[in-house]
Amino acid sequence: MRWTLRILSYGVFLAMLFVLVSIVVSGLPYLFRPGFFTAWPKRAMSEGGIFPMLVGSLMLMGLVFAISIPVGLVGTIFLSELAPRRLSMLLQSLAATMNSVPSIVYGVFGLALFCVKLGFGTSLLSASLALSTMSIPFFMNSAVEFLRAVPKELREGVISLGASKFQSTLMVLRASRNGILTSLMLTLGRAFSETAPILVTGAVFYSTKLPDKLTDPVMTLPTSIYAIVMNLGERSQWMARGMASLMVLIMIFIYSVVQLTRRNKRE
């Protein structure tokens, strides 16, 4: 029993390690090409760099954060501090359900509502709204656990000293700041790596300029990887490999921060 499971586990472990390493290594050399981060792609993505995709992804992440962090945080506060227990449980299970909805559904929803009904078109704005619809429940679901973990005595203590609900909430937030940071990083990772919703609502394969209005379409890292792998030949593949390697490195960085905060809390 022990040895069968050990062999199985090492098999799975080595397979995962192989996937991680082969993706990172196969794209790593291209990250050091001159101009990889600062040049525009040229000749059907066979030369140049990934500047517009990188900036596009950053703009998208900025917008998603600007929308979903305030809403998510405020919603989380309601769930853990203010709502009656049953309502809070109900809302949380709704948020959990939304988490399990496949991401393409958010894309299709965003297309119907933001692109077509509201007339934003294929744009940075539609993509960030569609991604935010997905990220907000994700953030709430993760952050509410950390807020709930703050001991009750702390809240009661502050209230009995004459603090208002608002002040006691501030204190709970301060006490759970590590957890909130973890949730933030996980939300960032989720939004950054999601492709299907952006593909449908806001991304274009090639654009000659950076978006300068919210209603301009945008190029992003994940959708460009998809487009290159599916549509372009071998001469452009290096760029997709480079971007894939970059994305995995960024995700590893994000998860490392999460692991570090987790360890800090334990000690």
Where do the H-state alpha helices sit in the chain?
Answer: 2-31, 51-77, 85-100, 103-110, 124-148, 152-160, 165-175, 177-193, 196-201, 221-231, 237-266
Q: For residues 98 and 113, what is the distance between their CA atoms, to the nearest angstrom?
A: 17
From the CB of 135, what's the least distance to another protein, in Å?
11
From the CB of 213, what's the least distance to another protein, in Å?
21
Distance of CA 190 to the CA centre of its chain: 3
Dihedral, CA of residue 55, residue 131, residue 92 and residue 262, to nearest 10? -20
Nearer to another protein, 34 or 117 (CB): 117
From the CB of 73, what's the least distance to another protein, in Å?
8
From the CB of 40, what's the least distance to another protein, in Å?
21
Planar angle of CA 66, 67, 69, nearest 5 degrees: 75
Q: For residues 201 and 109, what is the distance between their CA atoms, to the nearest angstrom?
A: 9
From the CB of 131, what's the least distance to another protein, in Å?
13
CA-wise closest residue to 63 among 113, 133, 121? 133
Question: For 138, phi and psi rounded to 5 degrees?
Answer: -60, -45
Nearer to another protein, 15 or 34 (CB): 15
From the CB of 175, what's the least distance to another protein, in Å?
18
Nearer to another protein, 34 or 162 (CB): 162
Tokens 């192989």 found at = 18
Q: For residues 98 and 232, what is the distance between their CA atoms, to the nearest angstrom?
A: 35
| Residue 115: Cβ within 10 Å count | 22
